[in-house]
Amino acid sequence: MKRKIVILPGDGIGKEVTTEGKKVLQKIAEIFDHQFDFEESIIGHDAIEASGNPLPDETIVQLKNCDAILFGAVGHPKYDNDPTLKVRPEQGLLKMRKELGLYANLRPIKLFDELLEASSIKAEILKGSDILFFRELTGDVYFGEKGRKDDGNTAYDLMIYQRYEIERIAHKAFLAARTRRRKVTSVDKANVLESSRLWRQVVTEIAKNYPDVELDHQFVDSAAMKLIQNPRSFDVVLTGNLFGDILTDEASQIAGSMGMLASASVGDSVGLYEPIHGSAHDITGKGIANPLASILSASLLLDISFGLKEESELIIKAIEATLKSGYRTVDIADSKTSKDKILNTSTMGSFVVSQLEKIPVVNYFNS
Ligand code: NAD
């Protein structure tokens, strides 16, 4: 298979982890005899420094003319510490989602058994958790009208949803549930928010097309509690942009660390794959960022955009083998044991690559 992949490292640890995701994709191409052509592009703080624009036109052209995108993260302390700056890295990310019509963000929350002890949640509560989030990406408070009143002391961000935005992501969530445990939990705040009442109404209507899938509705505050209390009770979670943003960070604790969660953003055209974490200024440049979320993003890319299921699964097996051998980055090391062998960002990526070669492909296909 011949495909063009744009690598969009972005800022901070985005650069460090996408290097490892790319390494894995290169090895997969070698093992399975595919031709992946890589191009690199800029977004975020780097792009502002280079051109004054967090998403330059040249980047948009590159993104629209490739088969898939592996993205890192955007963000820089300069902007976090100065809210008055008008041009900001995150604007590049929001614009990219709009430009590419990426309206559905899929976030699988799957716990590797080897990391049961790495989470702050008890192992017996976590074991067997397997949740797939569908977070809406192009509506909500992020895109509604925002501003300040003249006196500067009143600010607003309009929470807004349109029927078609809810319908298209609801269909995706119900279709995915059919390939899993056939349950969709729709999360909203319909007791107080009108946009949530529309959300609930539309999701209920769409559910009629999928009588084989169970639908339940939860308020976001209760869902946040139940995620930690009984994560196994969730299969597919369907929610809006803001609630999805917060709940998936919470759910990262089920998987042990922010550094373990990948996501896929899909919609009308090319798919974009990225870790759920940000640019993590606190650890940038230290070589300790966990690259597994980026490597898992590469696995999702192969599966969803290219339909390469065996290749995608091989990456998961290589990560399992790595963790089984006791190798960890610091964020997932078990503080209670000294058995873990600590790797840095680059050596973790290389170790996963070495496992890809070791798992016999012929056995793997037969398993
Ligand atoms: P963050 O996700 O960058 O970091 C949160 C915490 O998790 C930090 O302590 C960090 O060290 C840790 N962490 C994150 N990824 C890790 C990894 N791979 N390995 C080990 N530890 C990891 O969130 P934040 O600190 O709130 O934000 C930092 C910057 O990132 C901000 O500028 C923010 O705007 C930006 N951000 C960008 C995105 C994105 O590009 N999609 C998402 C979230 C935040």
pLDDT value for 314: 97
The pLDDT tens digits of the residues spanning 231-262 come to 999 999 999 999 999 999 898 888 878 899 99
Query: Which tokens go with 313?
Result: 């699964």
pLDDT value for 361: 60
CB 319 within 8 A of CB 247: no
CB-ligand 1 contact for 63 (6 Å cutoff): no
CA distance 156 to 173: 30
CA distance 275 to 17: 9
Is 142 one of the annotated active-site residues of the chain? yes
Sole residue written with tokens 């899929």: 106
Report the residue among 258, 260, 263, 343 best suited for mutation to probe ligand 1: largest number of ligand atoms under 8 A from its CB: 258
Q: Which atom of ligand 1 is nearest to the CA of 17?
A: 18
- Residue located nearest, by CA, to atom 34 of ligand 1: 75
**Which of the residues 67, 157, 245, 334 is marked catalytic?**
245
pTM, full prediction: 0.91
Given this chain, do its domains 1-112+257-367 and 120-255 carry the same CATH topology?
yes
pLDDT value for 256: 79
β-strand pairing of 262-267 with 271-275: antiparallel
Q: Which residue, among 305, 317, 303, 244, has the nearest Cα to 276 in the 3D structure?
A: 244
Residue 365 above 80 pLDDT? no
How far, in Å, is the centroid of ligand 1 from the Cα of 95?
A: 20
List CB contacts of 304: < 8 A, sequence separation 6 or more. 106, 264, 266, 271, 273
**Which of the residues 79, 103, 142, 273 is marked catalytic?**
142
Is 245 one of the annotated active-site residues of the chain? yes
Residue 294 above 90 pLDDT? yes
Residue 75 above 60 pLDDT? yes
Mean pLDDT over residues 127-148, rounded? 94
CATH topology of domain 1-112+257-367: Isopropylmalate Dehydrogenase (3.40.718)
CB-ligand 1 contact for 259 (6 Å cutoff): yes
CB-ligand 1 contact for 74 (6 Å cutoff): yes
Q: Which atom of ligand 1 is nearest to the CA of 79?
A: 32
CB 41 within 8 A of CB 367: no
Is 11 one of the annotated active-site residues of the chain? no
Q: Given pLDDT bands bounded at 50, 70 and 90, which one contains residue 120?
A: confident
pLDDT value for 367: 35
CB-ligand 1 contact for 267 (6 Å cutoff): no
Residue 364 above 70 pLDDT? no
pLDDT value for 335: 64
The pLDDT tens digits of the residues spanning 211-224 come to 999 999 999 999 99
CA distance 126 to 121: 7
The pLDDT tens digits of the residues spanning 158-175 come to 999 999 999 999 999 999
Bigger pLDDT: 127 or 211? 211
How do the domains of the chain map onto residue ranges? 1-112+257-367, 120-255
Mean pLDDT over residues 326-338, rounded? 82
| % the chain with pLDDT above 70 | 97
Residue 349 above 50 pLDDT? yes
Mean pLDDT over residues 128-141, rounded? 94
* CATH class of the domain comprising 120-255: alpha beta
Query: Across the chain, what does the average pLDDT equal?
Result: 94
| Lowest-confidence region among 115-129, 303-317, 329-343 | 329-343
| Lowest-confidence region among 18-27, 108-117, 286-295, 311-320 | 108-117
Q: Which atom of ligand 1 is nearest to the CA of 11?
A: 40
CB-ligand 1 contact for 270 (6 Å cutoff): no
